[in-house]
Structure 1
């Protein structure tokens, strides 16, 4: 994205509660458990909550089963109230008292019990540094058009979007946003969420956010010229956007419900009767949210189960690595992005010094993995510092950067939240280059061709080439990755 040098601001908000590595003590309901029954494991964060919740305080959980029927039967057997389910991964969302949550662990077919953990957006130039402009100007996709993401939809799970924003308008007056969903959730705990088609409504205004507006523009902003003459566009200015608004305040069930909607609808996001030429299939999800301070990777979580099913069905998931900084002495990376499944990517923030240089620096705020433990390292770097994109001046996050551009329609913000949609848009370009590519091939192309900028930690041997605990495999190179994936 072309920008001039502007005041930089880092908004580093992640979760209000980190994952706690607290073992579950003997439950208060131990006397209710059938003797000899093996208890299904419980998520560490939920374990910490159950140890302090009062007996009469209801809570919301995700009950994982061998299939949805088994999880449903278990929920009913202990008196929990079922509110929804993620059928492809065998998870039932239910509410009830702590004793009932403990008891459901003993039921046949229950494999894991997970809590409704709070999460937050991961906030903090560009297409020159990534060689994205060069790729668009010199390469074509399999469809014969310039490599700009055309024919691919990106699902942005975030606070929302204004489909009428000028940065998202096509030349014919239509919007880049082909589907605009608002997840309507129970307001206090998001124990249940249902998607509603919001049409042309500003779902970011309903969320009182701004984060999603900025992120959507970075993914697929169209060509515009700002009042000062700056020409600007997103990473994939030909891609289509499917916005799924989960609100400005997040719990994991709301975000998982959005991911699950993608799992069930990615092949035809606008409905079976809408042609792909109008509403292309979703090939990548963009996820700029997570818990503060990183946390252990949880392969049993609903998030991981859903994103692994998405990979099986040809959809890449991209995650912000977090804004907790670090020095490599501890793992601060966002948990779901550490999934080793090929086709699931975590993104560190690169700063191009506002010049477009490829020999910039790792952003100070960008979360580091733990030195020596490759499983905690980010996968790739992309521009995330001093990024100008679409905003609305009346949205809170759109006031954080200090810039009032074009009457407040644009602002400059920093964070791994801004690096992530760069990669999401670039993934759309790679699928345009090779529509039959697998998520694993896309990740391999990105990592094996990354530019080895030298700031920060030394590179060391890893999968798909050398990697590092602070910047992953290096700075994304769109031209090289597009040629590698063909």
Structure 2
């Protein structure tokens, strides 16, 4: 294998993928739209039927009028006194605005076949925890002490651009932050001491030029669950866990991220210091890394990164990597180099698209880096949702401002505090939080046992390259062993129903 002869500048693995989907609508009679005495009225969509049933007559309405021919629809709109906005010539549909009384009038016009409401639409997006059954594990499984499987008793470390510890996503029941350690790596050269600086947990370290990435990633791993507007559910895989954030700032270099990994290696047993109880600040059992070089690269077993993650595995800590956002077709490896480490307990995560609805039979994200089909050591280990993921953000942070759709948080002042972003950066923390849940299920598990539980129980969604036998599992160069299944993996490790 080729070793890296110099430090390679790394980049955050987050690709914002614009995906716009319209809700499908089939012609249907509303509950009260076609009684016997009004059989000549054109049918309407369910939402328009509900509007017409409650409207006084002068309420504004925008509708799509379907006709036997375009001219028939246009004539009906004109005769009703409505204003035509546009038309779809080839399907004989006219968009028009007017009052609900005028809508009712045009329904009886010759040639009108159907009228539908101008329904609001939104981006399909999810927190990702439905597809992985992480939320189901929290709601249906308990650990040996009877506690819900939410990552309690585990700290997760996130090496990224930092975190906003005061974001509602990290708020505990008593109002305090679940960020128990807030650190900054200053190892950018010129000093051999004081690389990792301890900051107050109330300080926002996620405000530099690519600020927002770390907060979004941390929310996916460990965010507090809420139901926002439109019944949008947010929250991480392990909302009962504690959070250790290590900020490398905007200029990610191998030295800074390796210093962060080294800090975890030296402090994972007591991340808040020897005098702080494990109940207040549990040991770190998993570390998330959503960064890497663009274009992948060859695995370098001699690198400091690999030596650090192998030492972490030997001391009981799982390391999770985003596999990269370079796509590919299997003709070469575009996988993140350190994630290719075969050491048990080092996991690389491909991005899965749950279609924004939590389906378990979705697709491999187009942007998700593929391994070399002929070199199984380059394949990702497992998949998790990474496309159109709703998580913690602040509208003034650069990454968040490029998101697809803002959502307001749970409080009156939490305006625009969630957004939709895509990338394997978002897939990796799904697994990071799941690993915390699995360590809660079996605290004595080794990193190898955690990896085995995930791979052996992964859900075999069909999209993409076929699965092939590999090291006791079946895997593929684009999606690894399949979609992470938290319920199945936790049950394998001894979790039981509550």
What TM-score do you get using the length of structure 2 for normalisation? 0.73
CA distance in 2: counterparts of 1:193 and 1:158, whole angstroms: 19
Aligned to 2:412: none
8 Å contact 1:386–1:412 — kept in the other structure? yes
Q: 1:429 corresponds to which residue?
A: 437
1:120 is matched with which residue?
A: 11
Aligned length: 376
In structure 2, the residue matched to 1:12 is none
| Aligned-partner SS, 2:468 | coil
Partner Cα separation in structure 2 for residue 286 and residue 438 of structure 1: 17
**1:248 Cα deviation (Å)?**
1.7
1:203 is matched with which residue: 198, 202, 205?
205
Deviation, 1:207, is 5.9
Q: How far does residue 236 in structure 1 lie from its aligned partner after superposition?
A: 0.8
Map 1:36-55; keep pairs closer than 5 Å.
43-44=3-4, 46=5
Bigger radius of gyration, 1 or 2? 2
How far apart are 1:404 and its partner, in Å?
2.3
| TM superposition outliers: structure 1 runs of 4+ over 3 Å | 188-193
The match for 1:194 is 195
- Counterpart of 2:195 in 1: which secondary structure? strand
1:151 is aligned to: 153
**Residue 408 of structure 1: aligned partner:** 416
Question: Helix, strand or coil for the counterpart of 2:281?
Answer: coil
3-state SS of paired residue (1:203): coil
Q: Distance in 2 between matches of 1:461 and 1:133?
A: 30
**2:264 paired with 1:373:** no
Q: Cα deviation per residue 1:47-72 (whole Å; 9 max; x = unaligned)?
A: xxxxxxxxxxxxxxxxxxxxxxxxxx
**1:228, distance to aligned residue in structure 2 (A):** 3.7
Q: How far apart, CA to CA, are the structure 2 residues paired with 1:190 and 1:458?
A: 50
Where does residue 167 of structure 2 map in the other structure?
A: 165
Helix, strand or coil at the partner of 2:307: helix
> Offset of 1:324 from its aligned partner?
0.3
User: Cα offset for 1:183?
Assistant: 1.5
Maintained 8 Å contact 1:160/1:207: no
Q: 1:422 to 1:477 in 2, by over 3 A?
A: same
Quote the residue 2:469 is aligned against: 461
Give the superposition deviation at 1:288: 0.3
Contact 2:209 2:398 in 1 (8 A): no
Structure-2 change in CA distance of 1:184 and 1:251 (3 Å): same
Aligned to 1:476: 484
Distance (whole Å) between structure 1 residues aligned to residue 212 and residue 232 of structure 2: 22
Partner of 2:319, secondary structure, is strand
Work out the CA distance in 1 between the residues paired with 2:194 and 2:432. Answer: 25
Distance 2:300 2:212 in 1: 30
What corresponds to 1:66 in structure 2? none
Out of 289, 314, 338, which is 1:312 matched to? 314
Is the Cα–Cα contact under 8 Å of residues 189 and 251 in structure 1 kept in the other structure? Answer: no
Compared CA separation, residues 334 and 192, structure 1 to 2 (3 A) = farther
**Cα offset for 1:143?**
3.3
Q: Deviations over 1:415-447 (max 9, x none)?
A: 000000000000000000000000000000000
- Which whole-Å CA distance do the structure 2 matches of 1:307 and 1:190 have between them? 24
2:264 equivalent among 262, 265, 277: 262
1:232 offset after TM fit, Å?
2.0
- Note the residue ranges of structure 1 that are not aligned, 5 or more in a row: 1-18, 22-42, 47-114
Cα distance in 1 for residues equivalent to 2:462 and 2:170:
35
Range that drifts further, 188-197 or 411-420? 188-197
Alignment of 1:203-352 (within 5 A): 203-206=205-208, 208-352=210-354
2:373 and 2:234 map into 1 onto residues whose CA distance is: 37
Change (3 A) 1:337 1:283: same
Give the alignment's Cα RMSD to 1 decimal: 1.6
SS in 1 for 2:11: strand
CA contact (8 A) 2:352 2:384 kept: yes
For 1:26, the equivalent position in structure 2 comes to none
Inter-CA distance 330–206: structure 2 relative to 1 (3 Å threshold): closer
Aligned-partner SS, 1:359: coil
